[in-house]
Amino acid sequence: MIVSKPTIVFHASQIFFNFIAMCCFASVASFQAKWKVGPSGLTGFALFVAISGMFLSAFMLAIPVAYERYDKFVRLARALKEVRVGFILTGTGVTFSLLISFIVTISAWTQPGCKNADNDPHAEELGDDFKNGLGGWCSTKKAGAIFFWLAFGTFGISS
């Protein structure tokens, strides 16, 4: 077999969890854009890390397959066979996943508007509809944090 089954499972899981986190943060960005309060730098960084994580996992999965099946990307495949290269790429995924997981978790669980909608800095000027929507926004942000932790776990296990 070109790529081992556990490797396929780990890379597919990394892609899946990063995709779901990306969807969560796209929703967070949509809410922020709707109410003209963002999207914030954290949301942009979370989307960047999620998309980069998907590309990194897809790259590490597709290059060996393209080499074995179609005899393409010979130098890249040879480089990926080196343990240190795999360690560096996986370490990059682990590092960024851990970083974004901590940042998003701290942000999602300490946001003033998530504890009490009246405490949000934009609550007074945007009204009751904004306050009513904050509950879903906070839940989505927390779900995104959980999926980033799952992506971190799959990157960590695969290293």
94 pLDDT band, cuts 50/70/90, is very high
Closest CA to 155 of 108, 107, 80, 99: 99
- Helix (H) or strand (E) segment spanning residue 2: none
Burial class (CB in 10 A: 0-12, 13-18, 19+), 66: middle
In 3-82, alpha helices (H): 5-34, 41-70, 74-81
The predicted model scores a pTM of: 0.90
Residues in the chain: 159
| pLDDT classification of 85: cutoffs 50, 70, 90 | very high
Residue 1's pLDDT is 57
pLDDT single digits (tens) 105-151? 999 998 888 887 877 777 778 878 888 888 888 999 999 999 999 99
